[in-house]
């Protein structure tokens, strides 16, 4: 499968000592296990499955405060909801988690607990089945 990045970006990525570009990964679990945080900073997004996946590994999240993403993260409990399209907000959030690592770890654990309470496959499938049944009545 072709990577969606344009060819000229590879040179920029590979020449930047602060970026380790791994390309498409089929199994991201080892990467979540190593992560200090996950940032999903779209200004338009659906639900944000990647946030749920990372939270299930205890990774605190930083997401834009937009519909869809705000359903995945509880501000200051499981991660940070920040102003969309604001480099300053993103920088502050990253620095907050960096400077408050014990709090970030607690956020990650609370996120993991929240996933197990509300977003397991069984819970989601059961809710979806109940919705279908209600709609058919």
pLDDT digits (tens, 9 = 90+) for 26-40: 999 999 999 999 999
What predicted TM-score, i.e. pTM, was given to this entire model? 0.84
Q: What pLDDT does 3 receive?
A: 63
Burial readout 39-74 (b: 16 or more C-beta within 10 A, e: otherwise)? bbbeeebeebebbbbbbbbbbbbbbbebebbeebbb
Whether 2 has a pLDDT exceeding 70, the answer reads: no
Q: What CATH number does domain 28-136 carry, 3.30.1360.70, 3.40.50.2000, 3.40.50.450, 2.10.60.10?
A: 3.40.50.2000
What is the mean predicted confidence (pLDDT) over 84-112?
Answer: 98
With bands split at pLDDT 50, 70 and 90, how would you rate the model's confidence at 21?
confident
- For 28, the token pair is 């991201």
- What is the percentage of the chain residues whose pLDDT exceeds 70? 96
Whether 99 has a pLDDT exceeding 60, the answer reads: yes
Where is pLDDT greater, at 16 or 13? 16
In sequence order, the β-bridge partners of residue 63 are: 40, 81
């Amino acid at each position: 499968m072709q990577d969606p990045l344009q060819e000229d970006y590879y040179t920029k990525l590979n020449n930047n000592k602060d970026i380790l570009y791994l390309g498409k990964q089929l199994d991201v679990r080892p990467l979540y296990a190593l992560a200090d945080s996950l940032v999903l900073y779209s200004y338009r997004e659906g639900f944000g499955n990647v946030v749920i996946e990372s939270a299930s590994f205890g990774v605190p999240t930083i997401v834009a405060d937009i519909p869809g993403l705000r359903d995945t993260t509880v501000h200051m409990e499981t991660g940070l909801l920040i102003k969309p399209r604001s480099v300053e907000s993103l920088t502050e959030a990253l620095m907050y988690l960096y400077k408050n690592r014990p709090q970030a770890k607690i956020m990650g654990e609370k996120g993991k607990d929240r996933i197990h309470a509300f977003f397991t496959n069984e819970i989601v499938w059961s809710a979806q089945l109940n919705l279908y049944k209600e709609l058919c009545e």
